[in-house]
Amino acid sequence: MPRLAASLAVVVAIAACQSAPEPEPEAPGRRMQELLGKYTTVRLTTNLDVLTESERAMLPHLIRAAQAMEGAYWEQAYGDRDALMASLDEDAQRFAAINYGPWDRLDDNAPFVAGTDEKSAGSNFYPADMTKEELEAAHNPELRSLTTMVRRDDDGKLTVIPYSVFFEAAYGTAAEELRAAAALAEDPGLKRYLELRAEALLTDDYRASDMAWMDMKDNTLDIVIGPIETYEDQLFGSKAANESFVLVKDHEWSARLARYTSLLPELQEALPVADTYKQETPGRDSDLNAYDVIYYAGDANAGSKAIAVNLPNDEEVQLQKGTRRLQLKNAMRAKFDKILLPISQLVIAADQRELINFDAFFANVMFHEVAHGLGIKNTVNGRGRVRNALQERASALEEAKADVLGLFMITELIKRGELEDENLDDNYVTFLASIFRSVRFGGASAHGRANLMQLSFLAEAGAFSYDESTETYRVDLEKMEQAVNDLAGVILKIQGDGDYEGLGVFMEKHQVTTDRLRQSLDRLAAAAIPVDIIFEQGPAVLGLSGS
């Protein structure tokens, strides 16, 4: 603005202020209602008639074990939950419970409580005054262990407290409930897993229980519990956060999916990257199953909710046994109906909206989880595990890898006649629509950062175009396949090389929110389309007694 015009504008503004009252600031209660409006509520239920009497009796024990992870995760993510809640009104308490702290996870961890400091990259896993350089200089591998809290001793030096000690009360409760469930279990594989998982919580040694979890095949009930994912630690990506899912397997859907896991070695060989970066062989015991999830707790329940899971994360277990991919069918359907379809009506070209359907969404999510098992776990140049070499940047890149390799796998399987009912155009357009769903999770989420990178790379490659007149996006079905392969190759090479610096350059270029993307996201917000889901869950919702 020219200087004279700016001066005149100031004069006019002053006059306006003198003649009209200042606008009232937005009421805190109204602001909190807007924040709560980012989520829509879903009742987590399933058909319990498929369970035996013993399995129904096990459920309250499994849910109570899961609930024990709540306080343990609060301690990792924030600290003193009770003190925070006592300082908040009812609506703010509800939003703090969703976020496990005073930071909005869907807004890059922006504080929503007045006077709150910026969220520490290391959450509460490390002392608040600790720097990354200080920990690296200590040369103590236990400081980077998945299952230790880092604190200072009486002399101010960094020391570790094993999770089994730090969370002794919570883990003791969970172990007791798991053993009570195991005593009721009729399936021998499930009984063994529950007993070993209870022991793992008390010893910090999870490998035997992970192996047992992979070995059990015929169970209907399942529980994922303990320190699992490392997304919460954005300082190093080293610390596992406490969480739980309680699950009921859909045997019919699982049987339809099982045959795809046998194709993993062939798909690994077909990856669009040099042989050096695909020399590992995926475990052949991998499972692909569909579940209804009936309880989320801890890290699993914080902010945006997972609709599929790929575990265990232990690379040795993965190489020996593979992984189990859990498709959370009821949660997935809720996000598709309540979020993805409304998004597509606003941002996808009108003539491509008919290509968006739940089967394509399910396949994209499913093969995303399968794709976590492809690629490489160990760097090719002696830099150790990919996860360790890429540190806090590893999670976002791994999620981007799973997305693009999932599409690559679908493309390959359709070409081989293994997915006769799939239409690749459906998968591509549904994928683009889903990026606009997941990118709304924000920069605090590994999935949000992954989708930003993909959107930028695919746009640069011409995989989709934007229509200014309709403010919608259109997939270029011919260019999408090549763009997906190119992005997969870039990601697999960065992982194989353990290229921390190169990944930083890639992220700086592609992990951006453009003005156009911001305008599209603002349109979604203005239409009051929720960003994610929260749950009514627990024994009462399921109609269980004796809990």
Cα separation of 366 and 364, whole Å?
A: 5
Q: Which pLDDT score, from 0 to 100, does residue 195 have?
A: 98
pLDDT in tens, 334-343: 999 999 999 9
Mean pLDDT in residue range 157-185: 98
Closest CA to 183 of 175, 173, 191, 193: 191
Q: Show the domain range for 435.
A: 39-542
pLDDT in tens, 460-480: 999 999 999 999 999 998 999
Q: Which pLDDT score, from 0 to 100, does residue 541 have?
A: 94
Looking at residue 24, its amino acid is E
Q: Which pLDDT score, from 0 to 100, does residue 256 have?
A: 76
66 part of a folded domain: yes
Q: Is 446 exposed, middle or buried (0-12, 13-18, 19+ CB in 10 A)?
A: buried
pLDDT in tens, 247-284: 999 998 888 777 777 788 888 999 999 999 988 876 55
- E strands of 268-323, at which residues? 287-298, 308-311
Compute φ and ψ for 319, nearest 5 degrees: -70, -30
Specify the number of domains making up the chain: 1
pLDDT-above-90 percentage for the chain: 77
8 part of a folded domain: no
Handedness of CA 388, 392, 397, 398 (dihedral sign): positive
Mean pLDDT in residue range 502-529: 93
Q: Which residues in 14-50 are b (16+ Cβ under 10 Å) and which e?
A: eeeeeeeeeeeeeeeeeebeebeebbbebebebeeee
pLDDT in tens, 342-386: 999 999 999 999 999 999 999 998 888 888 888 988 999 999 999
| 504 has a pLDDT exceeding 60 | yes
238 part of a folded domain: yes
193 contacts 211 by C-beta, under 8 angstroms: no
Looking at residue 9, its amino acid is A
| 2 has a pLDDT exceeding 50 | no
First to last CA, the chain: 67
4 part of a folded domain: no
6 part of a folded domain: no
Mean pLDDT in residue range 224-247: 96
For Cα atoms 251, 225, 265, give the angle at the middle one, nearest 5 degrees: 55
Q: Which pLDDT score, from 0 to 100, does residue 193 have?
A: 98
Q: Which pLDDT score, from 0 to 100, does residue 444 have?
A: 65
Mean pLDDT in residue range 301-316: 92
Residue 545 to residues 58, 59, 60, 69, 538, Cα–Cα distance (Å):
12, 10, 8, 22, 11
Cα separation of 402 and 419, whole Å?
A: 19
Looking at residue 161, its amino acid is I
Q: What is the pTM of this model?
A: 0.82
Residue 237 to residues 77, 108, 227, 321, Cα–Cα distance (Å):
13, 17, 13, 24
- Between 142 and 253, residue with greater pLDDT: 142
44 part of a folded domain: yes
Mean pLDDT in residue range 102-130: 95
200 part of a folded domain: yes
Residue 130: DSSP 8-state: -
Q: Which pLDDT score, from 0 to 100, does residue 288 have?
A: 85
10 part of a folded domain: no
* Mean pLDDT computed over every residue of the chain: 90
